Structure 1
Amino acid sequence: MHWNTKIINPQDLINISRGDDKIIHKYLLQFQELIPQRIESLKENLKAEDRKQVRQLLHQMSPQIQFFGLIELVKPIRRLELDYETMSLEDLNTLVQTVITKLNLALNDVSLTLKENF
């Protein structure tokens, strides 16, 4: 399989699926299906200034983010999970926008991987 990725690190995905292309394909499709919906939910809750829901969404996404090797998002998400009530709205917005940007780049990687391999 050819991994032409800029942001995702497929090593955990390959390890967990034991290199089985069918399982890898399933996880890639699942990521491609779920992440856009979650990005939209993040944007809506951020706009509504619903800190608790933003935190909840990022917490729910955390395993998938780690699974796809998006390690640079782990620290910001952890920070938000701990400080979501006290951080300024500006910091919250910046942090969430960073996560959304990285997730969109990861979606591009997943789309390209699917296109080139399946």
Structure 2
Amino acid sequence: MSSAANWSYTATATIWRRIRDADGSDTDGGGQPYGWETPIAIICDYQGGLSAKIGDIGREIVVKNTIWTEYSEARQGDYILIGASSASEPPEEADEIRQVIRFADTFERLADDFALITGV
């Protein structure tokens, strides 16, 4: 962990990663989801209520939360909850990660930072 992350990432969030097959699909041939990996607690910081709009053509997303972390394994479609949880699957208050943005560790080059953006 970089020294900047050490003092700035003081919150905990829980992430549920979708189980994916070797091709990256999270559903079987019949469209049924595989389920969830064991939840992981990550160290982070966060901001809620951004009004920026992002998305692909034809799909507009209003940002709900942005979570900053050095955790590099989050993917679009995973779920995240600010705070600690041991629930085996995401609770209702967890949010879907809609976009993951990578930022360089400008000062120390130890670990990149990531913005995990959730939408409503």
Give TM-score, length-normalised by structure 1. 0.30
TM-score normalised by L of structure 2:
0.29
- Comparing both structures, which one devotes a greater share of its residues to helix? 1
